[in-house]
Structure 1
Amino acid sequence: MNRPAGDLAAQQQAERIVSQMMAHDAFSQWLGIEVVSVAPGRSVVRMTVREEMLNGFSVAHGGIAYALADSALAFASNSCGLVTLTLESTVFYAQAVHVGEVLTAVAEEVSSGHRMALYDVVITRADGSRVAFVRGTVYRTKQPHQ
């Protein structure tokens, strides 16, 4: 498929930014997050739930799914070129997650204004069942990524 030069440049910029972010993101690395794909305003990441991520009920701590979604949100929102920070987010846990399960988070821009944007993140299991939903509002600073 042939892409217009502007689309290709935006894609390359998104990939470069997320690669730099991930290289300096010790927490996402500790979680074992893998960047599957990125495009301007969108990211797909995945991770495997490990034993040390379980809570007292032997299911994944809610913070684990939320952290995966937060990383996906950060990568998607920063991929557009400006340093972007989350202002607020909400999470809905639909199903319990167990050790060994592979979770995939897809973050997509829903709406964008001059400085703020809205993103939805859906977390699924390998079988496609949805386990959590996150909606986040971000603020785009005037600072471009280096």
Structure 2
Amino acid sequence: MSMTPDQMAHACSIAMHANDQAAKALGMEIIETRSGYAHLEMLVRKDMLNGHAICHGGMIFTLADTAFAHACNSYNKVTVASGCTIDFAAPGFEGDRLKAIAQERHRKGRTGVYDITVYNQKDEALAFFRGKSHQINGVLIDVPEESAHYGTTGE
């Protein structure tokens, strides 16, 4: 039986997370993945604070970048970042539960554009991240031939 596109996205996300030592060390959790979409969460710990006692911007960036990776790799085509920007809107604090929502805006050929917003547990936006992706050779998981065609839309 073949996988639906969203089942494929979920399987790719699980496979990526299994190998992502940085995401696991930071306690990131996959909440939901679909084709071109990912929702990841992370609890801000004391060891994630900067000299101002707020969440280090690099931690917020890493959460957003990881959600971006899960969204752009959801088609089972190995895809990497070719560029990204982030704008910080508000600080995160120790004990905050941050969520990053990644959404595909455009995908054609080997490139894509994704917007990721990072929120706190009150749904206040903390950061706006835009990532540009580039597909390279390879797949994340081996699937039956009939399921392999889901990654070809938009090309």
Q: Which sections of structure 2, spanning at least 5 residues, go unmatched?
A: 142-155
2-structure distance, mates of 1:123, 1:23:
22
The structure richer in strand per residue is 1
Are 1:95 and 2:71 an aligned pair? no
AA at the equivalent of 1:26: Q
Conserved? CA contact 2:38–2:67, under 8 Å: yes
Equivalent position SS for 2:102: strand
2-structure distance, mates of 1:96, 1:13:
35
For this pair of structures, how many residues does the alignment match?
A: 141
AA at the equivalent of 1:66: F
**Match of residue 130, structure 2, among 128, 131, 135:** 135
| TM-score (normalised: structure 2) | 0.88
Moved beyond 6 Å, runs of 4+: none
AA at the equivalent of 1:23: A
| TM-score (normalised: structure 1) | 0.93
2-structure distance, mates of 1:142, 1:60:
36
Equivalent position SS for 2:134: strand
- Residue in 1 that maps onto 2:115: 120
Q: What CA deviation, in whole Å up to 9, does each residue of 1:18-39 have, x standing for no partner?
A: 1011011110001100000000
Using the TM superposition, give the Cα deviation of residue 98 of structure 1 relative to its aligned residue in structure 2, in angstroms: 0.6
Are 1:44 and 2:44 an aligned pair? no
Q: Which sections of structure 1, spanning at least 5 residues, go unmatched?
A: none
Using the TM superposition, give the Cα deviation of residue 145 of structure 1 relative to its aligned residue in structure 2, in angstroms: 2.3
Are 1:10 and 2:10 an aligned pair? no
Using the TM superposition, give the Cα deviation of residue 11 of structure 1 relative to its aligned residue in structure 2, in angstroms: 1.3
Equivalent position SS for 1:63: helix
Are 1:27 and 2:25 an aligned pair? no
Equivalent position SS for 1:29: helix
The RMSD of aligned alpha carbons is: 1.3
